[in-house]
Amino acid sequence: MLIIQKYGGTSVGSVERIKAVAQRVKQTVQNNNTVVVVVSAMGKTTDDLLSLSKAVSTNPSRREMDMLLSTGEQVSIALLSMALQELGQPAISLTGAQVRIITDAEHGRARILEIQPKRIQHYLNQGTVVVVAGFQGMSSGDNFEITTLGRGGSDISAVALGAALKANLCEIYTDVPGIFTTDPRIVPEAQLIPEITCDEMLELASLGAKVLHPRAVEIARNYGVPLVVRSSWNNAPGTRIISPIAKPRSLKGLEINKAVYGVELETNQVKVARWQGRDRLGVAAGLFGEIARENLDVNLIIQSIQEDNGKDIALTVVNRGFDRVAWPMVNQGETLAAAVSESKLKELITSALYGATFQGSEEVEVMVEQNMATVAITGTGMIGRPGVAAKMFSTLAEAGVNIEMISTSELKITCVINAEVCDRAVAVLCQAFEIDRSVVLGPDSIQEFSTGSSPSPVCGAVVDLNQACITIRHVRDQPGMAAKVFGRLAQENISVDMIIQSQRCHRLNGIPTCDIAFTVAQADAEAASMALKALALSIACGEILVDTEIAKVSLVGGGMVAQPEVVAQFFEALAQQQITIEMMATSDTKISCVVAQEEGIKALNAVHKGSIPVVKNYPQTVKGLATPAKPSYAG
């Protein structure tokens, strides 16, 4: 077997640890395996180098920073190679440039274009262990610039080498036993996960899980690289990350290849929106508890807050009666039938709202729109590539398609539109993203994974305390507004999640307007606000509000679609702890909500306890850790 082994900074943080890693590598070779080792810089070396740069320059150039930071890995690869040679195991250390990891020229966050493995293969054929510097590469062209891949880049290097060399296994060694259902430092009941799909891991990683970089998971998913996350302190089996069965694809443009693989359409949708003047605790829990009891399959859910502090909830209900068919062989007249009667939906939702929360008189409006569809682009790493969403929105705008709801995830961006324009929407998206065909998906479709297993309904919970919410008031409710907003943010390379359009329109000077809110990393909040203020005059919107005192709590699971009881449990757990939900949004693989920052940890504990089942047939604690370690986790 050809095995890629990656060791992080803590795993090679001292001479003793480097010697222990050398012993493990030698044992792997003695078990009749061929081994490539990817190593990070020792311990806090990268942080120390960053401190040195700040001591000599207030604004160091990205190029010189790459030259500086790339030296950290050179120390660790040389020492590990020496340790292996001392054990009698032939080994050679190579930098990213020597390995021919070719990247673009984006210093500090380069993406891998290709890996030319000829030199590595030469040494492997001689029985030599190749020790590669992670985190770094060399730009294409004639300049041969040293580049770095950004934080977590050694994960990316290891999985990319696994793809290029067609490795049988890529082992990510860290200081903990594997991936946990959440952060055990916050939630003592956190459990070790024996197996997780790439899709689930990608969502967890993008939401803030520390164990793997999202770009590494993207590569594993795209090229079918088998992954295991294990502890470098013992021989526990760790967590297996299961890739879907990979389709043949070129290794050229390895990290910048086609972002969108398909366009999906589902016409059997009914949109339901409700708004009320005053928010109450438990509204979402009561509503979705009733929906679960009625066994309605809810596809997308959003909640937004209005200027008057009233809150909208909008959702789409799926009709399960339609079969999957290939586009364009859809008879629209047959597929636009009502999933549930309008009167029944209104009765159910109003009853749920009043039954759970009614105290005195208040006005609640429920609106049902039958003739709706969802159109989606599918791929990998969608949130990490902000230009993809912007291109989708602008493509629909140019075709005169108005977007009523938006759902985002790393795997899919979905828009709710009027079904009358769905064929036009599919056609222009296929053309824009160079897709030959699209599929009308039924709600029961499940992706095929290499083991034949299906994803679990829920696998992990995450809290991100470093988020900000940006709200744009009074955006004109017409095609092209979302395209302009998120196109401007894409120009600044700002990734966006939880895009929420309010469902209640306000008329200003006779023009219908709505609010648009979304979340960004706190580090990007100021840049996003400045970019939008520069745009505000041209789109004639209202004020732009930035709230950094929030937490984003998410539940992830590849099997959540078509399981409304999971959504109900999520909201019930928050309601029981008296936690107010400011915003919410869902996709096929996650539920996210925004709460007050001071309630973020409390919310994580509540959601984990209320929504995640006990992981069976796996040890809940792993003995034998040589030293206490910070765990890698889903939260």
Question: Model-level pTM greater than 0.85?
Answer: no
Reported confidence tier of residue 308, pLDDT bands at 50, 70, 90: low
Report the alpha-carbon distance of residue 471 to residue 87 in Å, rounded. Answer: 60
Reported confidence tier of residue 381, pLDDT bands at 50, 70, 90: confident
Question: To 10 degrees, what angle do helices 71-86 and 45-56 make?
Answer: 150
Please report the pLDDT score of residue 280 as a whole number.
Answer: 64
Beta strands in 331-448 (DSSP E): 364-379, 405-408, 412-418, 438-440
Please, are residues 187 and 604 in contact by the beta-carbon 8 Å criterion? yes
Range from 99-113, 328-342, 497-511 carrying the lowest mean pLDDT? 328-342
Q: What mean pLDDT comes out for the span 266-289?
A: 72
**Which sequence spans correspond to the domains of the chain?**
2-242, 260-453
pLDDT tens-place string over residues 428-452: 999 999 887 655 454 444 444 444 4
Please report the pLDDT score of residue 332 as a whole number.
Answer: 33
Please, are residues 112 and 74 in contact by the beta-carbon 8 Å criterion? no
pLDDT tens-place string over residues 183-227: 888 888 899 999 999 989 989 888 877 788 989 999 999 999 999
pLDDT over threshold 50, residue 330: no
3-state secondary structure 130-186: EEEECCEEEECCCCCCEEECCCCHHHHHHHHHHHHCCCCEEEEEECCCCCECCCCCC
pLDDT tens-place string over residues 125-143: 999 999 999 999 999 988 8
Report the alpha-carbon distance of residue 632 to residue 619 in Å, rounded. Answer: 17
pLDDT tens-place string over residues 505-526: 777 778 888 889 999 999 999 9
* Fold category of 260-453 in CATH: VC0802-like (3.30.2130)
| Both tokens assigned to 516 | 């648009």
Report the alpha-carbon distance of residue 323 to residue 440 in Å, rounded. Answer: 9
pLDDT tens-place string over residues 596-614: 999 999 999 999 998 876 5
pLDDT tens-place string over residues 9-34: 999 999 999 999 999 999 999 999 99
Please report the pLDDT score of residue 285 as a whole number.
Answer: 75
Range from 67-81, 309-323, 517-531, 601-615 carrying the lowest mean pLDDT? 309-323
* Fold category of 2-242 in CATH: Carbamate kinase (3.40.1160)
